[in-house]
Amino acid sequence: MSFDNIGKYLAEQYPAEFAKWLLMSEPQKVTVLKTELSIEPIRADSVIFLETESRIIHIEFQTLTKSNPPVPLRMLDYYVRLKRQYRKPITQIVIFLQETDDVIAFTEEYTDEVTSHRYRVIRLWEQEPTLFLENSALLPFAPLAQTDSPSSLLAQVAEKIAKIPDRVERQNISGCTEILAGLRFKKDLIHQFLREEIMQESVIYQDIVQKEAFKFFYRQLNRRFGEIEGSLVQQIRELSTEQLEALGEAFLDFDSVNDLETWLAQHTGI
């Protein structure tokens, strides 16, 4: 199960709340930036850009510390490309979800001879839970926050979720919370406080299942046929979970990328 794209989903749904949290101020207008910057398909679900009237906010959610390129170099790369394209101040934040003692989670600067670039790092396990408990947009992060009594914290989170008046929002926040809580708690304990059927009904749960199916197929595709044209990758990304499952079965009989193109044309009308 992917955890990083939970953060991206929440930031897309509640951009103003994320900007307020990360900037420690309240911008008048915050939108999700649909940038033309190229992002590797395998990383697209963990990166989001928000735009205020005067600033770009670049957020990355990380569960693992190992990546290629390494986090510091990637932050420099994005900074240069964002700066060149938008000519605005840029705030970059890497949010580590799972507790670790890896040095990358404590690194806030890229250095190489005469080049130096700084960015912010938030380690959720060091954050006070109060901020998250008081804001439903950030509530799914609460189980990962600092606490001396994890079970009590999870109980508080469940109580807050139960008080969300809108049913759809309650389902989605519950789904996000249950998934992220899996980074710290065993499933049986989570289900003592949060109902599994509510999670499975949530939009984000269904979205994650689809994205996981895409990632699995994308890896198999690259392994077999090498780098694939971007337009084909985008067509595959837009398939439903059921279509991806059908494509995965058909893929066993493919001899070339032409077979993939034919299948997509027959099953998507493209």
Q: Which contiguous run of DSSP H or E holds residue 56?
A: strand 56-62
Task: Please give the C-alpha separations between residue 148 and each of 77, 96, 208, 228, 252, in angstroms, as whole numbers.
Answer: 38, 20, 31, 48, 50
Residue 91: CB atoms within 10 A of its CB come to 17
- CA–CA distance, 150 with 155 (Å, rounded to integer): 9
Q: Say which amino acid occupies 106.
A: F
Question: DSSP strand E in 120-253: where?
Answer: 120-123
- CA–CA distance, 134 with 120 (Å, rounded to integer): 23
Q: What is the mean pLDDT of each run of 10 residues along the chain (270 residues)?
A: 81 95 92 75 72 95 90 94 93 96 97 96 97 96 94 91 90 88 86 63 64 86 88 88 90 91 82
Contact between 170 and 161 under an 8 Å Cβ cutoff? The reply is yes
User: In 14-70, where does DSSP find H-type helix?
Assistant: 15-23
Sheet containing 90-96: order of strands: 30-32, 47-52, 56-62, 90-96, 120-123
Closest to 87 measured CA to CA, from 127, 108, 57, 56: 56
Contact between 173 and 161 under an 8 Å Cβ cutoff? The reply is yes
pLDDT of residue 42: 46
Q: Would the pTM count as exceeding 0.85?
A: no
Q: Which contiguous run of DSSP H or E holds residue 54?
A: none
pLDDT of residue 39: 59
Geometric angle at alpha carbon 120, from 119 and 124, rounded to 5°: 150
Burial of 193 (0-12, 13-18, 19+ CB in 10 A): buried
Q: Are strands 109-112 and 115-118 parallel, antiparallel or unpaired?
A: antiparallel
- CA–CA distance, 196 with 206 (Å, rounded to integer): 13
